[in-house]
């Protein structure tokens, strides 16, 4: 799970928070509810996750409950990879 978190954190920092200190993006930092991730950015992140982890994200799975923090996203990816959603 830690590797997944770090992959997601690196991607978010690179794509959506360039120049931001990695220490400012904690596992529980709100991404969608704080406005860091817009709907378009969320779609971009989903594309990354699908390609990188070879998973398929269904439309009903893209809510804040799965995509509001690095920890939420990592837990979702792990569940998908294990065949659970």
**Can you list the domains of the chain with their CATH numbers?**
2-81 (1.10.1200.10)
Q: What is the pLDDT of residue 51?
A: 97
Per-residue b/e over 22-61, b at no fewer than 16 CB within 10 Å? eeebeeebebbeeebbeeebbeebbeebeeebebebeeeb
User: Are the beta carbons of 31 and 67 closer than 8 angstroms?
Assistant: yes
First-to-last CA distance in the chain?
Answer: 16
- Mean pLDDT over 65-84 rounds to 94
Its pTM stands at: 0.92
* Mean pLDDT of the region 25-48: 95
């Amino acid at each position: 799970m830690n590797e997944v978190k770090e992959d997601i954190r690196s991607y978010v920092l690179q794509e959506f928070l360039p120049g931001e200190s990695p220490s400012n993006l904690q596992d529980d930092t709100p991404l969608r509810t704080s406005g860091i991730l817009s709907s378009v950015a969320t779609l971009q992140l989903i594309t990354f996750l699908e390609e990188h982890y070879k998973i398929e994200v269904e439309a009903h799975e893209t809510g804040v409950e799965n995509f509001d923090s690095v920890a939420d996203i990592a837990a979702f990816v792990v569940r998908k990879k294990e065949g659970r959603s």
